[in-house]
Amino acid sequence: MARVLYLGGLGRSGTTLVERLLGELPSVRTLGEIVHLWQRDIRDNERCGCGSRFAACSFWRRVGDLAFGGWANVDVNRVHALRDAVERTRYIPRLARAYHPDPQVREYASFYSRVYAAAAEVSGASVVVDSSKHSALAHVLRWADDIDLRVVHVVRDARGVAYSWTKTVARPEADGSDMTRYSPGRSALLWNAHNAAFGLLARRGVPVRRIRYEQFLEDPRTALLSLAGFAGLTIKPSDLDFLGDGYADLGVGHSAAGNPMRFTVGRLPLRRDDAWVRSLPRSQRRLVGAVCAPMLRAYGYPLNPSLEPS
């Protein structure tokens, strides 16, 4: 049974950074956002984190051979039909009910569990990390019988997330297209919905560890030791030698899809990005702060951070 660490949270909350640091731990293999594997990799042959096209990456070729007898045997249309039928944010209340789900939920989950099991075997890792982020997919995976699912719920200040969604970020692997953008109002609503969905998942008995991105960056060493414990790994202090004062030294990874940071190799600065405090217009900041106030408070974020030194 594959042990899966699922990184969840609204996009732009720092999951890729957490993923990259986890990927440097022994016995961990990070896979990127598997939710996009079907279209972007199997079908569109986009680039793996190692720089190769998906079809040319030897790691992923071996995973596909073991999981499906080759990626060509995956019916991507079927995966998409199942996704549309079961993996939507609006279906979360249905997925969260206690009784047996629609058989399509298990069928959809089985595509993921086959990838996880094969990736664990090919890499020899005891933990594989899927940073798909989507809360609905985490609720689907709860119903897979053959994975040991543990969820890391990454939370970042809703105003920082909203500011990040207003910026244009290119997707280097997709030649000329940009990542999606959301208005601050839309981002605030999504922030509430996705974060609440992970709270619900925890109440359904799934092991969920919530981390605040800002806190993670303040002391990545302690945070990683704690996450390794949550993943059932024993880590020696020397396993964290890739962390320096304010930076991490990253090796090559095989992330299948996700934020462009997945391509970074070498020294990555680790610093908080608080640009929103200065750059998010006051009206938008008020709007997001008001919409997200109950959960910002619950997570321990100051409602007026410019007045309170962090």
In the complex, which residues of this chain contact Zn ion (CB under 5 A)?
Answer: 48, 50, 57, 59, 254
d(CA 42, CA 121): 20
Backbone angles phi, psi at 131, to 5 degrees: -105, 40
Give min distance, CB of 28 to Zn ion, in A: 16
Give min distance, CB of 234 to Zn ion, in A: 27
d(CA 308, CA 120): 45
C-beta closer to Zn ion: residue 122 or 158: 122
What DSSP string runs through 81-104? HHHHHH--GGGHHHHTSSSPPPHH
d(CA 283, CA 279): 11
d(CA 116, CA 111): 9
- Whether residue 127 contacts residue 234, with contact meaning beta carbons closer than 8 Å, is answered with no
- Whether residue 163 contacts residue 280, with contact meaning beta carbons closer than 8 Å, is answered with yes
Give min distance, CB of 60 to Zn ion, in A: 6
Give min distance, CB of 85 to Zn ion, in A: 31
Q: Which amino acid is at 57?
A: C
Residue whose pair of structure tokens reads 């999981």 in the numeric block: 67
d(CA 284, CA 175): 32
C-beta closer to Zn ion: residue 212 or 262: 262
d(CA 132, CA 34): 6
C-beta closer to Zn ion: residue 50 or 76: 50
C-beta closer to Zn ion: residue 54 or 182: 54
C-beta closer to Zn ion: residue 37 or 224: 37
Q: How far is CA 93 from CA 86, 89, 97, 149, 204, in A?
A: 11, 9, 7, 19, 11
- Note the maximum CA span of the chain: 58
C-beta closer to Zn ion: residue 47 or 212: 47
Token pair for 182? 């959301």
C-beta closer to Zn ion: residue 48 or 117: 48
Give min distance, CB of 148 to Zn ion, in A: 25
Give min distance, CB of 116 to Zn ion, in A: 17
Dihedral in degrees, nearest 10, Cα atoms 143, 149, 150, 151 = -50
Give min distance, CB of 236 to Zn ion, in A: 27
Give min distance, CB of 172 to Zn ion, in A: 15
C-beta closer to Zn ion: residue 50 or 169: 50
